Amino acid sequence: MDNAVNTALINSYIKANNLNKTKFCKLCKISIYTFNKIMTNQDFDMINLFRIAKTMNVPICKLFVE
């Protein structure tokens, strides 16, 4: 299955805000381990995707690939 999460949007947010993965994860209140699971489309809890959306100030639907 292809990646269902819009990783390009997350990566562009990180780059645009001069963040690294660690700082982004702290802002989202998720672990780097969870972040890596999301970015590689492994099994993760949806609450973490909501945390990312809140941090990025985007609707949750924007984090899914159309």
Domain range summary for the chain, segments of one domain joined by +: 7-58
Alpha helices in 1-66 (DSSP H): 7-16, 21-28, 32-39, 46-56
Distance of alpha carbon 17 from alpha carbon 4, whole angstroms = 23
Distance of alpha carbon 37 from alpha carbon 19, whole angstroms = 19
Over residues 36-53, the mean pLDDT reads 93
How confident is the model at residue 2, as a pLDDT? 60
Q: Give pLDDT tens digits for 5-39.
A: 999 999 999 999 999 999 999 999 999 999 999 99
Give the architecture (CATH level 2) of 7-58.
Orthogonal Bundle (1.10)
Distance of alpha carbon 39 from alpha carbon 33, whole angstroms = 10
More confident residue, 2 or 17: 17
